Each structure stands twice: as structure tokens, then as C-alpha cells.
């Protein structure tokens, strides 16, 4: 075998100066030749660590071997044994924290580009036309309901339907997909990919009811009468704000609102689509996570001359993926680190005009192990801005806890679950994803959906006659 390249085969992408003017996806993905070259970097470890590093336990060396053998059909089949959303995960999973982090090759060189290879197979399959369906399983006669058609719910539904259960799914919004459609922007995850994955789920036999807000149109108690088990994947809830003066001025958005307007409601195509969004010349996004990067990059595409990130700690503590920070920097997002708003100031018509920021320095590490930001006295500064987006997180969705008094809820309004099984305090009711853990990643929600599906299967087979 030829000498292994020390670095990943690079993935071609749209040049930064072009892509800030469109909503098209940024990276193009590997060609078959590039994929095989990258696949050949895999050491095919006898005891691979990457599989355990994957929340949904994909047989990673297995699918890479298929790529190397030029059997892409075999490769995608191998992935789909574990993961129904490879086109999504290949794009948005933080592989550097998971499978690629523990890759043995990564000890001395760059790890194998597992995410890019996963994406390659998913895109290859899309280009072949309609994806193939697995053999229809023997039906168990059990009925299961999944509440919320986001990453957790989609994964749970896919696993359960493939185990032979009848699965119905309720979605509150007018499109299924959860954060994949309302949150993550088109340029990072094209919606056509999400809809294709959802369509696959429907072809597997899952029935999706849109515009159904569970808790309002049906109670959990009613669902328990009708179904043998329930999975709750109702996702993110109300956004957190900074609690500083001026946060209710016009022009101050939560990240959830900003992204929902832009993505789900397609405000970037205004006025063809009628949902408006304020197109600021100078947009400040507060926060340092992936969502903050999405907002700052969306602002540029909506025509902002300046898109600035204010983050209270330093670059090192930023929770966003390196790739996202890198893309944002390339596109011209300005990072003002060790800064946080003290107040927003408006004009007489209540429109945002200025942000007043506090400079910070780093003190001792806090509970999260990151160094705590400490304000520097008398170092406030002001900046004229016309839009601010607060991207500092959100609490779990409140609707099920509010309308289901018998369910146990944690300190942050999250539904209490056993992490090993997804069980809630109500027998037969399981939960996972952001509604159980608070805001996290797509793949962690999918992992929780998978765990819950396994224990729902055990529950309905063992305890329901």
C-alpha cells in the first residue's frame, strides 16, 4: 500500500467571496476518486475505536472498506443499518469530537475524514435516484407514536418501523424536520436533503401528521390510550435572553426567531415568501456556538455589510465547531471576543441603534471547566448597529411539561429521563433529544432517539400483551 497521506483529502468548496452572496451549500463533497483516496487512509483497525465514538455506532471501517472496494451501494447499506440520516450527519455532526477524535490514525496524522466519506455515500445514493428500501420486517402489531419530527424523533421512528411496529408521528410545524428545517441554514444543510430523508421515512411506512401540537390537540393521556408506547422528541423551547436593558427593542432577535424566519419561512426569498426579516447593515450576534455562527453567516447572506460576533470568552472556549468558525472567518464575520452586551440602546421609535458592550478578561475556571469571564471595570464601549441576534441557548420546549402535570420535570424544565433507556416518570412514555437534555447537537439527539427506540422495543414486546 502506498504511503498514507498525513492530511485529509481536502473537500472543494465555494469561494468565500462568492458564497456570501448566495444560499447554496458551501462544500461540494468528494468525487468518487477523492472518496476512494481518502478511504485508503483508513488503517482498518482490528479493534476500531471510531465505532464506539459514534453515538449511533455506525460500522465505520466496514463502510469505508466498501468505498475502497468501489462498492458504494454496499457502503451506504452498511451505514443505513445504523443511521437513517447519513446525508444530514455527514454534514452537521461534530466528527472531530466523536469518531474522528478517537481515530487511531489521528494519533500521528490527521484522522480519516469519516464525516466527508459518510456524506459522499449519501450523496452518491441520491444521485442514483430513489433510495432502496430494506426488506419489510415481520409486523408486531404494536402501535407507537413519536411526538416531534426532528432528529431524535426521526431516528426513533426509523428504528421502530424497521423492527416491525406501526409508527405514527406528530409534528407541530407545517414541515417535518425540526431543527434541520427551522434552524440549520440552507447553505449548511440544503432542505432538499432533509425532505428526501423524511420521504424515506414515509416510504418505510411511518405516517406523519403535520400541524399537530401534542399537549394541545391531544393530551399525552389520550395518546397512551391509543398507542402502546410514546416517544417525546419535542426539542428546543424558548430562547434565553441576556436580561440586559433594551433587549425588547425592535431589531433584537433570538437566534431561534432569526433562523426560523430565514430558514423555515424563507425570509431570504422575501418578498416572494411573505415573512419579513430585518436586513441590517450592521448585525451583531451574541454567542459562540454553532447557532451563533449560523446567524452571523445568515446575516451576511441577507446583505449585512458587517456581521460581528460578540463572545464573552476567548476563541479557545468557543463551543462552535472549528469548521464553522473557520467558514465564518473566511466569509468575513468579525469576531469581537471577550465582549458581551451590557445594554442595547434604541431611538424614539423603539428601534435598535447601538450596542453597549463590556470588555471581559478570563478568570478562574468555572463548573464547565472553562475560564470564567470577568468584566473589566470602566471599559465599556459602544457600537452603532441595526440588528442584534441573541444566540446564547434555549430551554427545552415547555408544551408537554405544561400540559402533562404527571410527568417529572428537571430544574431547567427538561423532561427527566433515564439516559440509558430514555424512560420518563410515566410508564410507556420515553423521551430524548433537546427536550430531555437541553440544547445539544443533532447527532446526540439521534443517539437518544436510538437508545429510546431500543428500550421502547423491549417495553412493548415484554410488557404489552
Partner 1 sequence: MIKVIEISEIAPNVHECTVEARDIATRVKPGQFIIIIPDEYCERTPITVSDWDPAAGTITFIFLSIGSSTERLTELKPGDEIYSLTGPLGKSFDMEKFGTVALVGGCYGIGGIYPAARALKELGNKVVCYSEARSNFLLYWDKKLEETSDEVKYATTDASKGYKGHSHDQLKTDLESGIRYDRVIAVGCTFMMYRISQVTRPYKLKTIVSMNPIMIDGTGMCGACRIEVDGTTKFACVDGPHFDGHLVDWNIILARRKAYLEEEIVSLERKNYGEGHSH
Q: CB nearer to partner 1: give 222 or 366.
A: 222
Q: Which of 82, 93, 79 is nearest to 122 (CA)?
A: 79
249-308: contacts with partner 1 (CB under 8 A): 249-251, 253-254, 256-257, 260-261, 264-265, 270-276, 278
Site string for partner 1, 199-228 (x = CB under 8 A): -----------xxxx--xxx----------
Q: What is the closest distance, in whole angstroms, from the C-beta atom of residue 397 to partner 1 in the complex?
A: 6
Q: Which residues of 98-113 are buried (b: 16+ CB within 10 A; e: fewer)?
A: bbbebbbbbeeeebbb
Q: Is 237 in the site for partner 1 (CB under 8 A)?
A: yes
Q: What is the DSSP letter of 82?
A: T
- For the chain, give the number of residues: 465
2 forms bridges with which residues in the sheet? none
Q: CB nearer to partner 1: give 181 or 201.
A: 181
Cβ atoms 51, 44 nearer than 8 A: no
Cβ atoms 29, 116 nearer than 8 A: yes
- CB neighbours (10 Å) of residue 131? 16
Q: Is 352 helix (H, G, I), strand (E, B) or coil?
A: strand
Q: What is the closest distance, in whole angstroms, from the C-beta atom of residue 222 to partner 1 in the complex?
A: 10
Q: Is 192 in the site for partner 1 (CB under 8 A)?
A: no
Q: What is the closest distance, in whole angstroms, from the C-beta atom of residue 302 to partner 1 in the complex?
A: 13
Distance CA 78, CA 55 (A): 16
Q: CB nearer to partner 1: give 49 or 266.
A: 266
Q: Is 278 helix (H, G, I), strand (E, B) or coil?
A: coil
Q: Is 149 in the site for partner 1 (CB under 8 A)?
A: no
Distance CA 105, CA 68 (A): 17
Q: Is 45 in the site for partner 1 (CB under 8 A)?
A: no
Q: Is 397 in the site for partner 1 (CB under 8 A)?
A: yes
Number of residues that bind partner 1 (CB under 8 A): 44
C-alpha distance across the termini of the chain, in Å: 57
336-355: contacts with partner 1 (CB under 8 A): 349-350
Site string for partner 1, 418-447 (x = CB under 8 A): ------------------------------
Q: What is the closest distance, in whole angstroms, from the C-beta atom of residue 209 to partner 1 in the complex?
A: 10
Q: Which residues touch 15 (CB under 8 Å, ≥6 apart)?
A: none
Q: What is the closest distance, in whole angstroms, from the C-beta atom of residue 439 to partner 1 in the complex?
A: 12
Distance CA 310, CA 335 (A): 6
Q: Is 399 in the site for partner 1 (CB under 8 A)?
A: yes
For partner 1, the binding residues (CB under 8 A) are: 172-174, 182, 210-213, 216-218, 235-239, 241, 248-251, 253-254, 256-257, 260-261, 264-265, 270-276, 278, 349-350, 394, 397-399, 402
Amino acid at each position: 500500500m502506498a504511503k498514507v497521506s498525513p492530511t485529509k483529502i481536502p473537500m472543494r468548496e465555494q469561494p468565500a467571496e462568492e458564497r456570501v452572496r448566495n444560499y447554496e451549500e458551501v462544500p461540494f463533497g468528494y468525487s468518487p476518486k477523492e472518496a476512494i483516496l481518502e478511504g485508503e487512509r483508513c488503517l482498518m483497525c482490528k479493534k476500531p475505536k471510531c465505532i464506539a465514538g459514534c453515538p449511533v455506532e455506525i460500522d465505520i471501517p466496514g463502510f469505508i472498506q466498501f468505498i475502497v472496494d468501489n462498492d458504494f451501494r454496499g457502503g451506504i447499506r452498511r451505514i443505513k443499518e445504523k443511521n437513517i440520516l447519513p446525508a444530514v450527519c455527514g454534514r452537521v455532526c461534530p466528527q472531530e469530537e466523536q469518531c474522528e477524535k478517537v481515530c487511531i490514525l489521528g494519533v500521528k496524522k490527521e484522522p480519516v475524514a469519516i464525516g466527508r466519506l459518510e456524506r459522499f455515500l449519501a450523496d452518491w445514493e441520491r444521485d442514483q435516484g430513489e433510495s432502496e428500501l430494506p426488506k419489510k420486517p415481520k409486523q408486531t402489531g404494536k402501535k407507537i407514536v413519536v411526538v416531534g419530527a426532528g432528529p431524535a424523533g426521526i431516528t426513533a421512528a426509523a428504528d421502530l418501523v424497521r423492527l416491525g411496529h406501526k409508527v405514527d408521528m406528530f409534528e407541530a410545524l407545517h414541515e417535518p424536520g425540526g431543527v434541520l428545517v427551522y434552524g440549520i441554514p440552507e447553505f449548511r444543510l440544503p432542505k432538499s436533503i432533509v425532505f428526501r430523508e423524511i420521504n424515506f421515512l414515509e416510504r418505510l411506512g411511518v405516517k406523519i401528521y403535520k400541524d399537530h401540537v401534542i399537549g394541545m390537540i391531544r393530551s399525552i393521556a389520550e395518546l397512551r390510550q391509543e398507542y402502546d408506547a410514546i416517544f417525546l422528541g419535542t426539542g428546543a423551547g424558548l430562547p434565553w435572553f441576556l436580561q440586559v436593558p433594551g433587549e425588547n427593542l425592535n431589531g433584537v432577535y433570538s437566534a431561534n426567531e432569526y433562523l426560523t424566519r430565514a430558514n423555515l419561512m424563507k425570509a431570504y426569498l422575501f418578498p416572494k415568501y411573505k415573512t419579513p426579516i430585518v436586513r441590517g447593515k450592521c448585525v451583531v450576534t451574541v454567542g459562540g456556538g454553532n447557532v451563533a455562527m449560523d446567524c452571523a453567516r445568515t446575516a451576511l447572506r441577507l446583505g449585512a455589510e458587517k456581521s460581528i460576533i460578540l463572545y464573552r470568552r476567548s476563541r479557545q472556549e468557543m463551543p462552535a465547531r472549528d469548521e464553522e468558525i473557520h467558514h465564518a472567518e473566511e466569509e468575513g464575520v468579525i469576531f469581537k471576543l471577550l465582549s458581551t452586551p451590557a445594554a442595547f440602546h434604541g431611538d424614539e421609535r423603539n428601534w435598535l441603534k447601538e450596542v453597549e458592550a463590556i470588555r471581559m478578561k478570563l478568570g478562574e475556571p468555572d463548573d464547565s471547566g472553562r475560564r470564567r469571564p470577568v468584566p473589566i471595570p470602566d471599559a465599556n464601549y459602544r457600537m452603532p448597529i441595526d440588528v442584534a441576534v441573541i444566540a446564547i441557548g434555549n430551554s427545552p420546549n415547555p408544551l408537554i411539561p405544561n400540559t402533562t402535570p404527571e410527568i417529572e420535570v428537571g430544574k431547567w424544565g427538561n423532561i427527566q429521563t433515564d439516559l440509558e433507556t430514555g424512560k420518563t416518570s410515566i410508564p410507556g412514555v420515553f423521551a430524548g433529544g433537546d427536550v430531555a437534555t437541553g440544547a445539544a447537537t443533532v447527532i446526540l439527539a439521534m443517539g437518544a432517539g436510538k437508545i429510546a427506540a431500543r428500550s421502547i422495543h423491549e417495553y412493548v414486546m415484554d410488557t404489552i400483551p
